[in-house]
Structure 1
Amino acid sequence: MDHEAGAIEDAAFVLAMRGHGVRDTAVLRAMERVPRERFAPERHRHLARRDIALPLACGQTMTAPTAIAAMLTALSVQPGARVLEIGTGSGYVTALLVNLGAAHVRSIERYASLGRDARERLEADGLDEAVVEIGDGLAHRPGDGPFDRILVSGICPALPAHLAESLAPGGRLVTAVGRPEAGRLLRVERGPDGALVHRVGTGLRIAPLTPGRAAMV
């Protein structure tokens, strides 16, 4: 694909996202700059600009763009932010976080093969702000905290307490809670006094996040 054709497809993708209700300008610009097909499995790259989830290795999925946009809009990444991401997957959202201005993204993936592949893509794109770690982000308190923003890229039955505790004052955490067929967006904010405020938002279709470090490599 030549540069002009790619630019046209990028613009069409952003217009499609607007048509699906995405209004956050920063998120739209990041999605225009980061080609989703770069992170999609080769056999599904022709579907990367559609608003659908795509299958990944290890039985995982690449979340649909509108669901990603909803979470990133709620997260509201500010320039220079330190971000923790639970669930690296393909690395697509990690790249979006960097493009939104994060100065450091620590991303934790339970599947070693997914984590390695995502790390290679991010390094190839020169996104040195992102560090991919293999482990169970739902069970252990992450180092390098506190974090200004935390994104949990999947539905949890309930939010692990240690994640909210890793928020810096003024920080924000976004995830989805509930059952896979009835998940809802959850935003947790830590006030200057340290108090946590939970806000449950709209419905969100996203795959569940499985606890534990995977035995599968």
Structure 2
Amino acid sequence: MTVAESEERAQFTLAMRARGINDLKLLRALERAPRALFMPPRFADISARDIALPIGCGQTSPPPSIVAAMIASLDVQPAHSVCEIGTGTGYCAALLAQLANNVVSLERFQTLALEASARIKAFGLANVAVHWADGFDHHASGDRYDRVIVHGLIEPPAEVFRRLIRPGGVLVAVVAGPERGEQHIVRLTDGTSGAGEAQDMGPAHAMRPLERGLARAL
């Protein structure tokens, strides 16, 4: 690692702390997996900025602070099995894989799924499985997870995704707020220990509505 790269990573970590990301394990994961490694090469110079970036197939990579805030809301533990809906570039999966036992990541665009899988393999992570699949249908598989994260704007109560979590599990996603353009990160439980109502974990932005269906490319 060059001095410039080291300084850039340090500045990135400070920026995440300034945005309320204080979990040391998550901060270390962010340091070990620079966003630039998971973005199209043309964005190498700006990947460390806390901005959304286009990634192909009409999709975007959310700002790192939003990704980190969603992961922090999950409270991932080393023994956990995690399901990610919306692989995108593979960046979030790479972060989750450093915190969890294993990660199953689903991407509806085949092009993005293949690219993300290649990036994750090149990064050296063996506990991530990327699948070209529709997250809306995954509950039919019968698979259940300790933690589920959904990258996309959804409508509560999100039962189709809540079915993916084990008893005592947690789902984190983004929902629209009452004001136009307003978005919030929400944490939902399976409902076994209560009503399973959404807990507001803070503001979000730049999330597109989650869509159904498989596609090879846009």
> TM-score normalised to the size of structure 1?
0.90
Match of 1:28 in 2: 27
Match of 1:108 in 2: 106
Structure 1's unaligned 5+ residue stretches are: none
Q: Following the alignment from structure 1 to structure 2, what is the Cα–Cα distance between the partners of residues 158 and 191?
A: 13
Match of 1:77 in 2: 76
Q: Does the CA contact (< 8 Å) of 2:174 and 2:207 recur in 1?
A: no
Match of 2:169 in 1: 171
Kindly state the Cα deviation for residue 199 of structure 1 after the two structures are TM-superposed: 1.5
Kindly state the Cα deviation for residue 122 of structure 1 after the two structures are TM-superposed: 0.8
| Secondary structure at 1:139 match in 2 | helix
Kindly state the Cα deviation for residue 210 of structure 1 after the two structures are TM-superposed: 1.8
Instruction: Return the letter of the residue paired with 1:202.
Output: G
Distance 1:44 1:177, change over 3 A: same
Kindly state the Cα deviation for residue 125 of structure 1 after the two structures are TM-superposed: 1.6
Within 5 A, what are the aligned runs for 1:98-177?
98-100=97-99, 102-141=100-139, 143=141, 145-177=143-175
> TM-score normalised to the size of structure 2?
0.90
Q: Does the CA contact (< 8 Å) of 1:172 and 1:189 recur in 2?
A: yes
Q: Does the CA contact (< 8 Å) of 1:158 and 1:178 recur in 2?
A: no
Deviates more, 1:67-76 or 1:171-180: 171-180
Q: Does the CA contact (< 8 Å) of 1:56 and 1:62 recur in 2?
A: yes
Structure 2's unaligned 5+ residue stretches are: none
Q: Does the CA contact (< 8 Å) of 2:168 and 2:193 recur in 1?
A: no
Match of 2:200 in 1: 200
Distance 1:66 1:134, change over 3 A: same
Identity of aligned residues (%): 38
RMSD of aligned C-alpha atoms? Answer: 2.0
Distance 1:206 1:23, change over 3 A: same
Q: Does the CA contact (< 8 Å) of 1:138 and 1:160 recur in 2?
A: no
Distance 1:115 1:159, change over 3 A: farther
Q: Does the CA contact (< 8 Å) of 1:171 and 1:191 recur in 2?
A: no
Match of 2:7 in 1: 8
Match of 1:185 in 2: 185
| Secondary structure at 2:136 match in 1 | coil
Q: Following the alignment from structure 2 to structure 1, what is the Cα–Cα distance between the partners of residues 48 and 140?
A: 33
